[in-house]
Amino acid sequence: MSAPDLSKFLTPSPLGVRELHFRALGTECHVKIRLDSERQALQFAADTLEWIKNFEEKYSRYLDTSLISKINDAAGQSWIETDDDAERLLNVADEVFRKSDGILDATMLPLAKVWDWKKIHQQLPTEDNIQEALRLTGWDQVERREGAIFLPEKGMGLDFGGFGKELAVDALIEISRRHNIEDVLIDLGRDIYANGGNGKHEFWHIGIEDGKNPENCLASLAISDRAVSSSGTYARHFMHNDKRYGHIIDPRTGWPTSNGVNSVTVIANSCLEAGIHSTVCYILGVDEGLNFSSKFHEVDVCIQSDQGTEGNPQFERWLVKEDNDKES
């Protein structure tokens, strides 16, 4: 985690908004609150940064000393003990897997390594590489007992990147509630939760990024007491022979998703719920994705594809029709 930028936190905007900026969980993070007391604001900032630091140190697969790295290193060899906090997170991984019909799978690390979007790919993975990664993927293969976990095949690996940021957003919102902060916006790499308003409105303005033209804003949302999560490959992808291969992999095929969907934005009661639906809809495509999300209460979806923009009717209630105020 990078050192936080406190310049806009200690000096609020004319609307009283304090902004905390830092980099963690592999992305840019922004936390905005409206709170008069600098002492209370700094205590909230300290609690927020401490939670993120502990979460990243324990569950990042990029840190050799993390619990996740220890579990992955012991794959095919030995059980690893887990405390109550880790058990809760593993239960979330199980819930996400079941709720997404297996589309979101915390054991997809072998596939993520095969398709690593951060590398320059002189050639695409072979079908043998993909099939071997698929063989090592499957949450149902994970063995658990009280206080311990075991990955039965060497080469298996856990990666909570599919829902880690969303879980962190929900945790930080709970911290803000404990501090009795009414106006707050948590934004961890465009996984967002907003409560209250920005000082000018009783809501926060949140832009929907255009999946076809990422520098542009597709629409603006007026959000309060809801989470917003977006999925797309416009930022994380690699190019090979003039074709884009994104970071969102379909576990049914082992290949990066390629179905004409450019981006998905979901509004829900929790960021975890919004993140599940945005990723699942992105992988399933427009028709199957909207059908999947229609089975869940208070989940509003907007899908931008090559054919246009579609969503459920309820999504429109969050749209700002005429937005001349860009204060978020």
Q: Which helix (H) or strand (E) holds 46?
A: helix 38-59
- Asked if 187 contacts 31 with a C-beta cutoff of 8 angstroms, the reply is yes
User: Position of tokens 């884009």?
Assistant: 244
What are the b/e assignments for 312-321, b being 16+ CB within 10 Å? eeebeebebe
The number of folded domains in the chain is 2
Domain match, 134 and 74 both: yes
Domain match, 137 and 75 both: yes
* Residue 108 forms part of a structural domain: yes
Domain match, 154 and 167 both: no
* Residue 147 forms part of a structural domain: yes
User: What value does the mean pLDDT take over residues 37-58?
Assistant: 97
Residue range(s) defining the domain that contains residue 12 = 7-52+163-318
Q: Which of 128, 159, 190 delimits the end of a domain?
A: 159
- pLDDT of res. 328: 56
Domain match, 132 and 206 both: no
- Whether this model's pTM surpasses 0.85: yes
Across the chain, mean pLDDT equals 92
**Residue 68 reports pLDDT greater than 90:** yes
- Asked if 20 contacts 6 with a C-beta cutoff of 8 angstroms, the reply is yes
Rounded CA-CA distance 26/175 in Å is 21
Domain match, 36 and 179 both: yes
Rounded CA-CA distance 156/152 in Å is 8
Q: Counting beta carbons within 10 angstroms of the beta carbon of residue 141, is it exposed (0 to 12), middle (13 to 18) or buried (19 or more)? A: middle
The CATH number for 225's domain is 3.10.520.10
Q: Record the tokens describing residue 285, joined without a space.
A: 């495509």
**Residue 237 reports pLDDT greater than 70:** no
pLDDT digits (tens, 9 = 90+) for 183-213: 999 999 999 999 999 999 999 999 998 887 7
User: Position of tokens 């320059």?
Assistant: 120
Q: What percent of the chain has pLDDT over 70?
A: 93
Q: Of 11-20, 175-184, 234-243, 275-284, which gets the smallest average pLDDT?
A: 234-243
* Residue 177 forms part of a structural domain: yes
* Residue 214 forms part of a structural domain: yes
Specify the 3-state DSSP secondary structure of 255. strand
**Residue 232 reports pLDDT greater than 90:** no
Domain match, 19 and 79 both: no
Other CB atoms within 10 A of residue 296 CB: 13
pLDDT digits (tens, 9 = 90+) for 294-319: 999 899 999 999 999 999 989 999 99
* Residue 324 forms part of a structural domain: no
Rounded CA-CA distance 24/4 in Å is 10
Rounded CA-CA distance 244/228 in Å is 26
- Asked if 16 contacts 36 with a C-beta cutoff of 8 angstroms, the reply is yes
The CATH number for 90's domain is 1.10.3980.10
Domain match, 35 and 175 both: yes
Alpha carbon 265 to its chain's center: 12
**Residue 326 reports pLDDT greater than 60:** no
Q: Which of 112, 131, 159 delimits the end of a domain?
A: 159
Domain match, 292 and 173 both: yes
Q: Quick one: pLDDT band at residue 240, thresholds 50, 70, 90?
A: low
Rounded CA-CA distance 115/229 in Å is 23
Q: Counting beta carbons within 10 angstroms of the beta carbon of residue 92, is it exposed (0 to 12), middle (13 to 18) or buried (19 or more)? A: middle
Domain match, 211 and 295 both: yes
- pLDDT of res. 243: 75
* Residue 62 forms part of a structural domain: no
Torsion of CA 77, 78, 80, 81, to 10 degrees: 180
pLDDT digits (tens, 9 = 90+) for 258-296: 898 999 999 999 999 999 999 999 999 999 999 999 999
* Residue 189 forms part of a structural domain: yes
- Asked if 183 contacts 199 with a C-beta cutoff of 8 angstroms, the reply is yes
Sign of CA dihedral 298, 314, 96, 84: negative
Q: Which of 129, 159, 189 delimits the end of a domain?
A: 159
Domain match, 259 and 204 both: yes
Domain match, 307 and 180 both: yes
Domain match, 123 and 265 both: no
* Residue 325 forms part of a structural domain: no
